Structure 1
Amino acid sequence: MKKKVIIGLFIVAFILFSINGEFRESTGSTVNFGWFSLVPPVVSIILAFISKDVIISLFLGVFAGAFVLHLADGSILYAFIQSFLSIVDYSLSSLADPWNAGIILQVLTIGGLIALMTKMGGAKAVANALSKKAKGPISAQIITWILGILLFFDDYANSLIVGPVMRPVTDEKKVSREKLSFIVDATAAPIAGIALISTWVGYEVGLIKDGYEAIGQEVNAYSIFVETIPYRFYNILMLLFVLCTAVFLKEFGPMLTAERRARKYDQTNKEEINPAASKEMEEMEPAEGVHLSIWNAIIPIATLIVFAIVGFYVNGYNAILAGENTAIINLLKENPYSFTAIQEAFGASDASIVLFQAALFASIVAMFMGVSQKTFTWGQAVETWINGMKSLIITGAILLLAWSLSGVINDLGTAQFLVSLLSDSMPAFLLPSIIFILGSIISFATGTSYGTMGILMPLAIPLAAALSPNPEFIVISAGAVLSGAIFGDHCSPISDTTILSSMGAGVNHMDHVRTQLPYALLVGMITVLFGFIPVGLGIPIWIVLPVSMVVIILSVQLFGKSIDEEANDLEFIKSKEDLK
């Protein structure tokens, strides 16, 4: 109730503020909304902090922006009514865009494919096969890390599969459950966010496309997405950090205490206080009595990847031939399979359509496999597929609202106002770092990467374009949005993947947050100091990325302490008390 009151007071304050004075300057048919153009993102961000609900925050952000737009043309009552109608209009126009529709279909279809593979026991079979290779704490952690990377296509699937499968193995090898949950969490969103094919790609690509359209540029958004990958410092450095701590067997902070405790005490009887998402766990379980086979995962995923690669080429090839660039057309006709030709074809392809087609075809293959193995009937296969799609409906809702927010921001001229406000006052080299930090704060407060990306991307790309004429600078800034959103989400105690990771590993949720946070903050700090600031200054990525990776390795060696070293008695006493 208190939360609702705060939200209501905030909305009332906003309305009173809106009608309390002049918020526009009319010059002919042009309306300059000035500071009021910031209303949609500010409302979304502030409400995200208050409500911790990205759906409500984005919805009210769109409403607030529409209210400002219509208040310029009529009374308060008129603006209030039209604002609700505008939300529908923005949503319909977003969904009517073939690109956006393709992205939503792609995301939902991949969710259905994941459900089919899970019911056939494919994902669990792969995990079981890898777990048998564990010989000690080092190999157990590395195998958990590898398994997390192999489940690149979805962060939820990663969190819900890797933890439960590897928990008996890491218990046996005396790896703490806190460390297990950290590895699971650190290979969920970070790898899904940079994977070329995943449930994240469509959303990220769609936001990039909208951002470039805001500055009047028509680009192949998927190609831009690929270009941002080297600049996704947090994702890359966190994956390396996890590997280093496993190989060197060095930890620091609360994780060191947890690991030393695990080496000395039996943790198999620890109480698992993680009721959250139990429904999702049940849905991720294979069908009863199914024979676990790794091919039930390998074949559908391989089908998805191969069909997508072929589809990118064919779709792009046809698009180029239908165009007017004679030089590229001649290149494709004369050397269709050269590296340059393939690169051009991939760049011209429609990723939303191709990935949807690939996921649909892979789903049909998975259905045939499941039916032929008598895992389920055709009716059950379709039902499983649809249930998998249902699990990602919330993603579709966030997509629509994020696109709608982007639309109202564009109509208000928010980006143009920020450009005029900041282009002469902010050093260009600091923009990627500021974007990363702001994204981290929003994501931490809301517990979601998606909403943060939707709020910041429409603002970051126009700002970057105004501050620097270098196209690479825009790519860096887009990468900062995507990296910052994942960093904050990784730290946040209310993040879905944080909750699912602790639950899957069988560890107290706040113990997971407490042990993981120092690691995430260290990698985040290195991301800014040795990643975004240097590339903002113009240092080439081929220098910055290796240097930042070396810093990660040295940090583990410098700050980490060997787990095998005897801890002081006080540490063990406290650890023993934790077990009670």
Structure 2
Amino acid sequence: MKKKIGFIAVIGIFLILAINADFSGGNGTEVNYGLFTLVPPVVAIVLAFITKDVIISLFLGVFSGAFVLHLADSNFVVAFVQAFLSVVDYALISLSDPWNAGIILQVLTIGGLIALMTKIGGAKAVAAALSNKAKGPRSAQVITWILGILMFFDDYANSLIVGPVMRPVTDEKHISREKLAFIVDATAAPIAGIALISTWVGYEVGLIKDGYESIGQSVNAYGIFIETLPYRFYNFLMLAFVLATALLLREFGPMLNAEKRARENKAKDFDDFAVETSKEVEDMEPAEGVKLSIWNMIVPIGTLIVSAFIGFYFNGYNSIMESGENATIAILEANPLSFLAIQETFGASDASIVLFQAALLSSLVAMAMGVSQKAFTWTESVAVWINGMKSLIITGAILLLAWSLSTVIGELGTAEFLVSLLSDSMPVFLLPTIIFILGAVTSFATGTSYGTMGILMPLAIPLAAALSTDPEFVIMTTGAVLTGAIFGDHCSPISDTTILSSMGSGVDHLDHVKTQLLYALVVGVISCLFGFIPVGLGVPIWIAMPVALLVTVGVVYFLGTRVDEVSEDKLAEKN
């Protein structure tokens, strides 16, 4: 009943405000949406928490944004009808984008790959091997953290691989699915965003280059990117936070309750907490008679990683040779295998297409291995692959609506409106902190770190250069844009990596968001108070970063409550 009342209240308030809205600008012709630019993300996020249904919440977020856009030049009834039609248009536009289509194909294909590896016993063999290494909750979480770091080259690949691989291990060690999803999510974008070679680097370097050119400076953009790394407080502090909670076995907030619940249940009871979409993959036991071998997962996953690296290189190489700058082309022609050449090609590659191709190749390898081991025939292997894809169809639907929401938010100018609220006047030393917070709020509301970086970077670099002549100040502000965008994206319920992490870990999406949110906010606050504010005041980074790391560990130790391993004997007594 409370959910229904809350749902009706949100929609009712929105409709009343919309009917009385005045979008006319100062000259009578310019459209000024004002606070209504915040309607789509607010509706989507609030309803997601009220209804617990991400699909409906995202749909109504897109619908409300389209309604506001049409209400500016139509009456209520026409705007309502046009808004519904626009939702369909936004979905079609999102799906027609090659990048988005590649991401959906990649997601579905990796779902099929996971099903194949499960059927030939690879997943179970790896889980058994890792279980031998993982003696308890502490080591199981550390192993998950290490695997997440090893998937540094792409955040999507991290979210889709680490969760399903480690899920049986963490279940056996009585670690909650919520904690698994948090570790996966915390080692996705935070790692990919600071990796020296990843699918993120090219985009970040390109934004830095354009930002410096806007103030009349020609710089080595990759060099500036390297210089921003010490100022990426949230990324490094989040990695330290995850490791600290694992080693100390201390939790607080909603995660503490989730972990206590997990410790008190046998591994077989974990299915009670799994989302329906993950059960199709989980229920696919190895084919009868198949000999369990870790190579049945190592070979397909190794193929995925190796082919992805090769694909990043050649895809980026071809892109640069076709339409790249002369200087970059010269680097590839002079020394095509140098570190700089590899970095440039990785940055110029289309990650969505490359990872789809790599997943497809890996699936074929897994099929061939299964057929050779008589786990299934070629016809049956295709059926297994497609069945695995079905388990992630809902993920594709959520991503499609999330992208549609991002489009309507862009048309309303939500991010620009948020920027205008804070950029009029500010103390100089607070600029990096405010940029970090603004990036976090914007990416949380929009669900995209890429979009937030693209909007804020052209504003942040000129603003920093105008307020201070110190080149280091511009660099720390640039770092604030990049890490602030990741902070907001990390804890946003409409972020694609947040969605993929919950799906891959087999936990309800909203449960993942609720348990992760407090942790992300704590690390974000530490990043401001012990990171950006001190360096803005002139404290050297070699002092600020160690202090921030110590504070992070201290917060886990003093605020957290220890959640010890529960022995099987005690579990047997309770059950």
| TM-score, length basis structure 1 | 0.73
1:366 is matched with 366
Cα displacement (A) at 1:95: 1.5
Change (3 A) 1:532 1:57: farther
Change (3 A) 1:159 1:386: same
- Which residue type is aligned with residue 329 of structure 1? I
What secondary structure is seen at the aligned counterpart in 1 of 2:424? coil
Change (3 A) 1:293 1:396: same
Q: CA RMSD in A?
A: 5.1
1:434 is matched with 437
Aligned ranges for residues 457-476 of structure 1 at < 5 Å? 458=451, 461-463=454-456, 465-469=458-462, 470=474, 473=477, 476=480
2:281 is matched with 283
Aligned ranges for residues 25-44 of structure 1 at < 5 Å? 25=25, 27=27, 30-44=30-44
Which runs of 5 or more residues in structure 1 are unaligned?
A: 171-176, 443-451, 565-574
Cα displacement (A) at 1:134: 5.4
Aligned ranges for residues 329-344 of structure 1 at < 5 Å? 329-344=329-344
Distance across 2 between alignment mates of 1:306 and 1:542: 36
Cα displacement (A) at 1:562: 9.5
- Which residue type is aligned with residue 304 of structure 2? L
Q: Does 1:314 align with 2:307?
A: no
Change (3 A) 1:89 1:167: closer
Distance across 1 between alignment mates of 2:562 and 2:60: 50
Distance across 2 between alignment mates of 1:235 and 1:324: 30
Contact 2:251-2:561 within 8 A present in 1 as well:
yes
1:567 is matched with none
391-400 or 28-37: bigger deviation:
28-37
| TM-score, length basis structure 2 | 0.73
409-418 or 95-104: bigger deviation:
409-418
322-331 or 520-529: bigger deviation:
520-529
Cα displacement (A) at 1:207: 11
**Equivalent residue in structure 2 for 1:479, among 483, 499, 503:** 483
Cα displacement (A) at 1:271: 9.8
Contact 1:94-1:400 within 8 A present in 2 as well:
yes
Contact 1:127-1:162 within 8 A present in 2 as well:
yes
1:447 is matched with none
Cα displacement (A) at 1:304: 1.1
Contact 2:415-2:442 within 8 A present in 1 as well:
no
Which runs of 5 or more residues in structure 2 are unaligned?
A: 215-221, 463-473, 565-569
- Which residue type is aligned with residue 86 of structure 1? S
Distance across 2 between alignment mates of 1:375 and 1:123: 14
Cα displacement (A) at 1:23: 2.1
Distance across 1 between alignment mates of 2:252 and 2:562: 12
- Which residue type is aligned with residue 97 of structure 1? D
Contact 2:40-2:61 within 8 A present in 1 as well:
yes
- Which residue type is aligned with residue 486 of structure 1? H
Change (3 A) 1:274 1:497: farther
1:568 is matched with none
Change (3 A) 1:457 1:27: farther
Change (3 A) 1:300 1:37: same
Aligned ranges for residues 566-577 of structure 1 at < 5 Å? none
Distance across 1 between alignment mates of 2:515 and 2:111: 31
2:470 is matched with none
- Which residue type is aligned with residue 277 of structure 1? A
Change (3 A) 1:336 1:388: same
Distance across 2 between alignment mates of 1:121 and 1:90: 41
Distance across 2 between alignment mates of 1:347 and 1:500: 26
Change (3 A) 1:13 1:223: farther
35-44 or 553-562: bigger deviation:
553-562
- Which residue type is aligned with residue 480 of structure 1? G
What secondary structure is seen at the aligned counterpart in 1 of 2:22? coil
Identity in percent: 52
What secondary structure is seen at the aligned counterpart in 1 of 2:93? helix
Aligned ranges for residues 152-191 of structure 1 at < 5 Å? 153=157, 155=159, 158-159=162-163, 162=166, 164-165=168-169, 170=173, 177=174, 184-191=180-187
- Which residue type is aligned with residue 78 of structure 2? Y
Change (3 A) 1:250 1:367: closer
330-339 or 39-48: bigger deviation:
39-48
What secondary structure is seen at the aligned counterpart in 1 of 2:374? coil
2:7 is matched with 7
Distance across 2 between alignment mates of 1:206 and 1:136: 39
Change (3 A) 1:102 1:29: farther
Change (3 A) 1:318 1:56: same
Aligned ranges for residues 254-273 of structure 1 at < 5 Å? 272=269
Change (3 A) 1:145 1:28: closer
Aligned ranges for residues 322-401 of structure 1 at < 5 Å? 322-323=322-323, 325-401=325-401
Cα displacement (A) at 1:106: 1.7
- Which residue type is aligned with residue 127 of structure 2? A
